[in-house]
Amino acid sequence: MRSLFYTLAILFLFCKITIGQVGASIFDDSKIHTISINSLDRIKYEEFHDELFRVYKSDLKNNTSDKTYTAASVVIDSFTIDTIGLRYKGQSTFKGLPANGKYSFKIDFNEFILGQKFDGLKKLSLNNNRLDVTCMRNKLALESMMRMGIEAPRTSYAKVFVNGANRGLYLLVEQVDEIFVNQRFSSDSTGFLYDVNGWTGGPQVAPTPSNLEKQLLPKTRRDENNYQSIIDVWNITNETPDSLFYDVVSEVYDYDNFIRQMAVQTFVGDRDHYCVSGSNHYLYQNPKSGKFVMIPWDYDLSWIKDWYGGDYLNIRNPVTWSDCSEHQNSVYATKMLNVPEITNKYHHALCEVLNHGFDSLWVEERINTLSALIGKEVVNDPVHFAQFDDFEYQLDNSYTFISYRSYIDPHVFHGMRNLIRHRYADVRDALREAGYDCHYQKRE
């Protein structure tokens, strides 16, 4: 009876939220939220972890597309929800952590009680910041996307407790799902949304529904399994000559949106995306325009050195961007960097990143604001991944990342603020050398 009462209270409260207010409470990033997760049985944190770990590890081993959730309860900023679905999440942010490590979570308010939401949302991602130890990289990259007019997930921070154990500071990330696309792409119906795992639109293999199932996981209209529109786009993309490429492809694929995202991608230097892995983004077919739109996701590797010792930011020329221009399967980026008409649009987008998306004054002020908000919590985080005593100091200076995997040596991370300043100068100078005047431009 108590569970039914809370469920009805939640539905009553959040059914009154208007479209513009969905997620407004939990993604208020002017404060640090508090999330307390509890198992339904009275067990210790270690026992609850063992259960969550075993289930999620099994799903990863079996390559299960629909991950298994465990029933739990949660208190978010003093609001109690008796029954939610909980699981661990991630790949590199999951593997190799010890039993007392800091694991990422996925919360599904709708998993066990149909229609249940919190703040108008069905799901919420809690990122452990394993590879984003300043807890800012992912957030700043996604905020820059939004400043560039790109539909990107919102973020905020929370202190997380599990069965009473303090698990430290997490980055909350808005889930890209049916609610997200219906909020951002207003239309009378929901289009096809895919979680992308290796699809780049390139000529590697002519797509069929069977091989697309491995590269594009449907997140909406899942019972339809409709890949024909993707196949149609692939055919148009790979049959159109360079002279017509931008105009023809832009009828079925939001190419301007793609170019803006790639400009931000070049600036932030996160390699685990479209060109290198073909992953960590979503594709959505907007019913209103019929075009496929790329939606960004997971930028926790922004502004770091190559994981195995290279110097990504300083040796990759942002104008030629070899990771993309030499990657034949990444067809949209290859054309962007080799077809003069499209390259000019890309250069213009890079200037827009410098002048607006990552305006130097904005990013300095944003880093100062976030540092004041979370710095003390990061330093005092009992299960944080990096070793430093002064949060502000490490934004400008090197610090050491210690891996829990014995066969991986410690990595030196360079101060994020310095890397951003250097990258800003790199992009500006490379554009000048290419003969592109990056004076202040009005946004299109």
- List the domain boundaries for the chain: 2-179
The Cα diameter of the chain in Å comes to 70
pLDDT, average across residues 402-421? 70
Q: To the nearest whole percent, how much of the chain has pLDDT over 70?
A: 88
Interatomic CA distance for residues 437 and 439, integer angstroms = 6
- pLDDT of 317 > 70? The answer is yes
pLDDT tens digits for range 121-143: 999 999 999 878 889 999 999 99
Ranking 132-136, 358-362, 399-403 by mean pLDDT, the lowest is 399-403
Interatomic CA distance for residues 10 and 76, integer angstroms = 12
Q: Which residue has the higher pLDDT, 53 or 434?
A: 53
- pLDDT of 9 > 50? The answer is no
For the chain, report the end-to-end CA distance as a whole number of angstroms: 55
Residue type, 164: G
Place of tokens 């130097």: 360
Which helix (H) or strand (E) is 246 found in, with range? helix 242-249
pLDDT, average across residues 289-309? 81
pLDDT tens digits for range 76-121: 999 999 999 999 998 888 988 888 889 999 999 999 999 999 999 9
pLDDT band for position 409 (cuts 50, 70, 90): low
Residue-level pLDDT at 20? 54
Residue-level pLDDT at 322? 77
pLDDT, average across residues 317-339? 85
pLDDT, average across residues 145-157? 97
Ranking 96-110, 222-236, 288-302, 430-444 by mean pLDDT, the lowest is 430-444
3 state SS of 221: coil
Interatomic CA distance for residues 280 and 14, integer angstroms = 30
E-assigned strand segments in 114-181: 123-127, 155-162, 165-174
Burial class (CB in 10 A: 0-12, 13-18, 19+), 75: middle
pLDDT, average across residues 38-64? 94
Residue-level pLDDT at 52? 97
- pLDDT of 442 > 90? The answer is no
Q: To the nearest whole percent, how much of the chain has pLDDT over 90?
A: 59
Q: Which of 436, 242, 247, 250 lies closest to 347 in space, CA to CA?
A: 436
Q: In sequence order, what are the residues at sequence separation of 6 or more whose Cβ sits closer than 8 angstroms to the Cβ of residue 412?
A: 305, 398, 399, 400, 401
Residue ranges in 78-208 assigned as alpha helix (H): 137-147, 178-184
Residue-level pLDDT at 16? 39
- pLDDT of 238 > 70? The answer is yes
pLDDT band for position 18 (cuts 50, 70, 90): very low
pLDDT, average across residues 226-253? 95
Q: Are 152 and 296 in contact (CB under 8 A)?
A: yes
Residue-level pLDDT at 413? 74
pTM for the whole structure: 0.90
Please list, residue by residue across 125-164, b when 16 or more beta carbons sit within 10 angstroms of its beta carbon and e when fewer do: bbbbbbbbbbbbbbbbbbbbbebbebbbbbbbbbbbbbbe
Taken as a whole, the chain contains a residue count of 444
- Alpha-carbon distances, residue 268 vs 143, 361, 387, 437 (angstroms): 12, 16, 24, 21
Q: In sequence order, what are the residues at sequence separation of 6 or more whose Cβ sits closer than 8 angstroms to the Cβ of residue 425?
A: none
Q: Which residue has the higher pLDDT, 2 or 439?
A: 439
pLDDT tens digits for range 382-393: 998 877 788 998
pLDDT, average across residues 12-23? 55
Which helix (H) or strand (E) is 132 found in, with range? none
Calculate ∠ Cα 312-95-157, nearest 5°: 75
pLDDT band for position 4 (cuts 50, 70, 90): very low
